[in-house]
A and B are shown apart, each in its own frame.
Chain A
Amino acid sequence: MKRKNVVLNRPVFAQRAFDSQALTVLTTLFHRFPEAGDYDLWVWQGERLIHRAQVSVVAEGGPHQIHLDLATLTEVSKPYSLAVGGVIGFYVSHGVGRYHVKIVQITRREKVVRLDSSDVIPAGDLFAVTLVRPGIYRVLQAGGKGEGEIHVRLPRGERYRPDQATRVTIGKEGMMEPHAVEILAGQSVVFWCTVPTSLRIEWIREEEAAGPPIQRQRVARDQPPRPEQR
């Protein structure tokens, strides 16, 4: 039997800090397009421009959401088409690259920068993190405004699904609502930025041990369970 060569996606487990100004694995930046029109899209990895494309936002037809995997982009691509009010989600599936995105609207008269993620997340956009490492994370905003907390813990035998996301709203004066959230490892927190801001989420420390360690279940037999191996 041939063994497929699979590689563990290490950054998923190694990363401890997430920054909206430098998109990495486990982060997603969502930009909303409230106006129909033509837009230019640039994507950089570090200093290097790696992708250019056009986005055509149309009044009718077109998808409401597109996901772009920044780690697999080619230099040029066909224009993207999006419905007005729709969203492009920029994320990174693997690797250790750090990316930023710029979107410029082309009107008849001028070019307007709608998004420069190396600077701020504009109002109306969203920034999501999927946190895998258990522990306590601190949420920092640009300009030192407001601070939040995210508690990440391993599931303890309860029914667990990674595809649960929690929404945090960032409002005036950098207020975060809710201020502290608790999620299970592998789940996501979505920050809805109603004001322009940039976000940084950092792992601070492990959570104090609360419940009993995870027990690996064996098939029910008339035997005591084996001791856990670490």
Chain B
Amino acid sequence: MPFTDHSDLYGSIHEDGIQLVVRHVMRQRPSLFNYATALFSKRPDLFCVPIAVAPEVRDADDPLFKEEDPLPVFGTPVPIGLNWCFQLTDVQMDFHPGNAIELPPELGALPVQSLALRMKGCFGLDCPSEDFIRELIPAIEVLALSSAQGLARAALSPGIPARELVVLPTRRLRCFCLELFAVAHFEWGPVGAPDSQWLKLRLDGLEIVNLQPAEMEDLIECYIRTVLRLGLLPRLSQPIGSLILNLTDLLKKQGVAIGQEITLQPAPAPVAVPNNPAVESDQLMAFMNLVVEEA
């Protein structure tokens, strides 16, 4: 049966292909998946997981990570921060039927038209050494208890003006990684202009296995879910044309020349096709119609 039996155009990608795409995205836009303090631009060796990067990124001098503020140490008489990093790595996708990723029981069986995700979230924090803390304490005590703050502050960190954050120097980070499981699905929707068509990845559930106490697990899951839903996933939305490798771009351009506006619209489901987009047989499939309007 022809692919275009119920629509003008059809595009599909197998999960093996998507896996390679994900790898390319992570290597060419590492700053989406790695967050750290400014120190790491000089000390990328300190990351929990080395960042694999495409040569073009280095050639263009693009940042390897998104710079964030240091983690504040509470209660200090002057602002003090610690270096840290957060990395998402080893992203893996498995389209329905799920046969590559074993989901934890909390997420249940992979529903139809869904995909399973597995990734690692690694967090690293600078833990100042015992010697260093002992060195700092006298100055801290002075700052905390006396008014001779100017001298004490100068002793603490020469050359840094008052009220500025002091970031403790880091020799190495302490890291841990958590395995994350998720279930997601795809849907069409506009971005900005109401008639635009984008393929969006929607998170349905996220699970970190066996973290105690359970409330802490819930809290971390919630945070990571929020990071994914507000931070990462919106940037990965794809315009409808890219699912067919922008094959109709030339057609659109030639249409403009004769006063025609040619756009792609998802074929209506379930009227034309049962599911659109469809995730089945280890593939993501999209069904599109060509709409021509005389200008």
When A and B assemble into the complex, do they touch directly, with CB atoms less than 8 Å apart?
Answer: no
